[in-house]
Structure 1
Amino acid sequence: MTPSHRSDLLTDALLHYSKKVERKQITLLPQRLAKAAKVKEEARAEFTALLQSVPGTTITAVRGWGEDLVNSLEKTSISLSWEEAYVENLHQLELGRTQLEAPRGGAQVLEVVKRTERARRQVDILERRHRVRQRWSLTTTDSERYLTAAMEKRAQAVLDSVSNLAFERKFMCGLMAKYAEGQTIAKKLSRQIHKLNSKIRRNVKLYNLKRPVIPSSSTLPTLMTFEIAMNPESGLWSQHSVSHDAAFQLKQRLFVLLSLHDRASEEMNIIKRPVCRVRED
């Protein structure tokens, strides 16, 4: 076959394929348009019904709730005083030295060395910045108090993170229940839930490592398990989470419905343009 014949064959194949796709679009685009219209109408109806249960609420207010929701789920920095940060790094430095004395594998030793070196640098920086002439002892009452306060703040931050992940997981499970098993979107949601489970397990393990340092008189839970942490209905979150009450969940649902309505409207506008072109052709 000559090069010119190959070019002609490729051109014919592309023309044939484009016509085939075009014929499919004649049926597919109206179906997608109808589906988007149905989603928009269902979201509008549910949104209107829920909005009536909150008198005086406007769409602008709901959009504002959405921004607040995103901000509340974002990771926030932990505010430690310099004394707390100093004692915490001293504790990490001492812990690293103790761990290096015990026999460990190569990868574990490398990780301990990195953490210890990072803590040492922070200790040096804080000592220079605050003119600490003599390194503090971890056995004094003040050092123990600062270390306890730092650990409690760290544990509370981890607890808040687990709380957000648990309620996000519940929301994802609610979405997944709407789709048949095997659908593409159901598979994507399943992967997201699996990632959330991994994050919750990792944070639960981190919390349980930090909790023993905190006095038993603290209001924080003494121990956390994955089964309890992943369930937003458990007693753990009713006692230690005030941001995900019924009012919060109602606001979340209103914002989700409003976003779903907006996305469906956008999809309809996008689909209408090729539908018009197909009909004209």
Structure 2
Amino acid sequence: MPEWAAFAGLTGLVLTAFLALARASQSTLTDRTTVVRPLDHRDPGVGESTETVPLEPLRESLTPGLLLVNVALTQGLFGAVVLGGVFYFTIPLAALGIPANPLAGRPVPLALGVALGVALWLGNELGTLAADAGGIEYDESLRDLLAPDTLRGWLVLLVAVLPLIAGVEELVFRAAFVGALSVGFGASPWGLAVVSSVAFALGHGAQGPAGIALTGLLGLALAAAFVLTESLLVVVVAHYLVNALELTVHEGLGVPKLS
């Protein structure tokens, strides 16, 4: 018999740890990329003043390779804990959007995931353009840090790290929080979708105010897709494509943002 309450507690702990780690990472990036110093060009007679200036690029001490390893390890740990809870507390895989035969009928959810992923990426591009026009900060430093310097690095990123990120985040924020909790407690999946999207947005605070807002909308769209399709595969594929296109188009191919 499924132990829904225990699994809900585990999911809450993982979400809390996820958000705490994201907050710590955000503080580290902020502290190591900017510094406040006195203004040397202030007018005579004007009191002490300061300005914020960039430090040396963080790549000198934190290479893309090290960052990718760190991301893979932490995401892998979160995913392993949740999956362990699924089997230990005997949670039905169907509640997570995983069919009894995962290999059956894959073309349809794959196609839906691809279509959704491309659409969400285009929407994200337009959202970034609107944020720029409104003067709302969108911090792209983390994206720059994740971009590898070598072909092998890009292969590792696209074949291993980004699929892991998409799989774990969808497992935690959509499958476990929305799917399992709605089935186990009879709660509205739409209400859970809103809560999970807020948490998802807060977990991406390093991207600035615009990034938080856009990530929240992205999370809500993915949660809606999960509720409507009842398929974890659809949202994992879509999530992966959003991240992969964002990195390859702008960092790999050097295509500038819309302006």
TM-score above 0.5? no
The normalised TM-score by structure 2 is 0.28
TM-score (norm 1): 0.26
Rg (Cα) greater in structure? 1
Q: If each structure's helix is expressed as a fraction of its own residues, which one has the higher value?
A: 1
Larger RCO (alpha carbons 8 Å, 6+ apart): 1
